[in-house]
Amino acid sequence: MVIKTKQVIRVGIGDMNIASSPDTIRTSGLGSCVGIILYDDVKKTAGLAHIMLPDSTLAKKQGMKRAKYADTAIYDLVHALKDIGISTYRLKAKIAGGAQMFQLSSSNDMMRIGPRNIEAVKSILLSFRIPIMAEDVGGTTGRTIEFDPASCELHIRSVNKREKVI
Amino acid sequence: MCEENSFHGNFGPVQFDVLKEIGNIGAGHAATSLSTLLNEKIEMHVPGVEIVDFDEVMELAGGADKEVVSIYQRIGGDAPGSMFFVLTPPHADRFVQRLTGTPQGETGAEIDPEMSISALQELGNILSGAYLTALSDFTKLDLSPTVPFLAQDLVGAILSVGLIELSQVSDQAIVIKTSLMEGEGDQKEFIEGQFFLFPDPLSYKKIFTAMGVLHGD
């Protein structure tokens, strides 16, 4: 029998990936970005997307990474999970991020990107009928998150705060 | 090569040199101001200009997970963009000790946090002010500073703020990075910090036009 060693799958900014127990999946330094975890608690498999922008129609050019946007990232993640035999109706979600790192009083809409990302993620998940089981969003601090598909726990680390588990 | 997903397919060596010079001049002036403030010699590292993926931007600053103190300033005017001065928390503490005259070696735990924040904000004002003024003089563009913001957080969370504008047109960023260092000999790396300049996508054309090196189109 082969004993599989536990690995941490890392997801970069504007990227996505999938992990199954005993592996965990992690993304670092979420600021205004949002980390979206879609998981199946029976098959103990989870996908994670680290999105930067709410909507792919914001793209001013074609052919960019789809995992950067909330809409295309969630769509692709749902389909990638379907491809490995996980039906969308089994999926549950946990989300974290969407902070406002600097309190700019600027009229620049891009500075409100954190809250806009959160809104977009929630409405897209709703349209897929994927329930959000837990969230840690907003605020003014960055987050590094790691999801364990075995326990379905999401560990959240922030500067000067105790690790949080949701 | 990467036309389909980047805005800088038409960058040549000349354009890179101009950006390098911008980093050089900006950080050079910032070093001089800091030197005057601390009455110490401040050295500047040879600037680097690189086109990298967003993840690599974070790596250049020590990794997305690393905790840093950063001063962020949004640049307005003719060529908008974002500028960051990034230093490690121990370096930030040392700077505060120097500026407030707290004796060295006494861990710095006694420093009033409010004092520490205002000292760092002052550092931000001075460095970014000097950097921007130099850029403005060099390019003859009107670059107006906004109030600098201070944050102590994860590199990824902080620098991604400067990548949002960019991420609408590209999966990569041009990083204009320069380091400042204080001290000589054994004292080296006493205070070290890095500048990151991310011009907004449309600003490149303006910078290159102003410098007379607009490529192609």
Q: What is the DSSP letter of B45?
A: P
- Does residue A12 fall inside a structural domain? yes
- Does residue A2 fall inside a structural domain? no
Q: Is the pLDDT of residue B2 over 70?
A: no
- Does residue A32 fall inside a structural domain? yes
**Domain limits at A37?**
8-165
Top pLDDT among A35 and B181 is at A35
Q: Say yes or no for a CB contact (<8 Å) between B156 and A141.
A: no
pLDDT at position B42, please?
A: 78
Q: Minimal Cα distance from B156: which residue of A?
A: A29
Torsion over CA: A56, A62, A68, A72 (sign): positive
Per-residue pLDDT averaged across A9-32, rounded?
A: 93
Average pLDDT, chain A: 89
The rounded distance, in Å, linking the Cα atoms of B167 and B82 is 13
Is A68 an interface residue toward B (CB < 8 Å)?
Answer: yes
What is the domain count for chain A?
A: 1
- Does residue A141 fall inside a structural domain? yes
- Does residue A42 fall inside a structural domain? yes
Q: Is the pLDDT of residue A1 over 70?
A: no
- Chain B residues in contact with A17 by the CB 8 A cut-off are none
- Does residue A134 fall inside a structural domain? yes
Top pLDDT among A107 and A3 is at A3
Per-residue pLDDT averaged across B94-105, rounded?
A: 70
Name the phi and psi angles at B81, rounded to 5.
180, -175
DSSP 3-state of A141: coil
Top pLDDT among B13 and A8 is at A8
Top pLDDT among B201 and A76 is at A76
Q: What is the CATH number of domain B3-210?
A: 3.40.1550.10
- Does residue A127 fall inside a structural domain? yes
pLDDT at position B115, please?
A: 78
- DSSP H helical segments within chain B, as ranges? 13-38, 54-60, 89-100, 113-139, 155-167, 203-210
Q: Minimal Cα distance from B153: which residue of A?
A: A159
Top pLDDT among B179 and B87 is at B87
- Chain B residues in contact with A34 by the CB 8 A cut-off are none
Q: What is the CATH number of the domain that holds A101?
A: 3.30.1330.200
- Does residue A142 fall inside a structural domain? yes
All structural domains of chain B with their residue ranges:
3-210
How sure is the predictor about B165, in pLDDT bands with cuts at 50, 70 and 90?
confident
| Pairing of β A153-157 and β A34-40 | unpaired
List, for residues A124-161, the tens digit of each pLDDT value.
Answer: 999 999 999 999 999 889 999 999 999 999 999 998 78
A152 an active-site residue? no
